[in-house]
Structures are given as structure tokens and as C-alpha cells.
Amino acid sequence: TTEYENGAAVKVKAKFRVYSSYLVALSDYVGLLSRNPRYTAVTQAATPEQGAQALQNAGYATDPNYARKLTSMIQQLKSMSEKVSKAYSTDLENLF
């Protein structure tokens, strides 16, 4: 994995948890955020973008651009969701 030390990207071998399912992984992640006072601002954020910044501020990731990258992904997902929603709400009978 890549960690940032003194502003420089450094490749590090690290062990990661292994989960039996996405549900178990997500439950563990939610537990981390909700039980650790370090992440209080994350769980109280008004928007996903504020939550991303709160994660970075709490030291969740060492990448100095973590919040910006996460916010970019959030915006892409929102845009995709809006497009899919519009596609499924279109009157399909008028297409043919």
C-alpha cells in the first residue's frame, strides 16, 4: 500500500483484515466509525463531502489528498445515480 510520510509517498507492505462477506466488512467499518471518539465528526457530518474531510482530519488515511479523492468519487457516484434515475423514469412507451 502507499502511505505518506512527511509529504512523500512510500510503498509499505501492510496486513489488511480479511472478511467473509461485504456485510461483515461494512459492519466492522461502521463499528469503527461509530465507537471510536476520534471519528465523531465523521458520524455527525451533514454531507458525504464533509464526512470525507472529517475522515482525513481524524487521520484515517495518510494521503494528504484523501478527502479530495473521496469527494471526487462521491460526486461521480451521485452523477451516475442521477443519470440512472432519469433513464428509468423516462416514459419508455414513447421511445418506439
- Which positions are annotated as active-site residues? 3, 28
Q: What is the 3-state secondary structure (H, E, C) of 14-39?
A: CCCCCCCCHHHHHHHHHHHHHHCHHH
Nearest to 27 by CA among 37, 40, 41, 17: 17
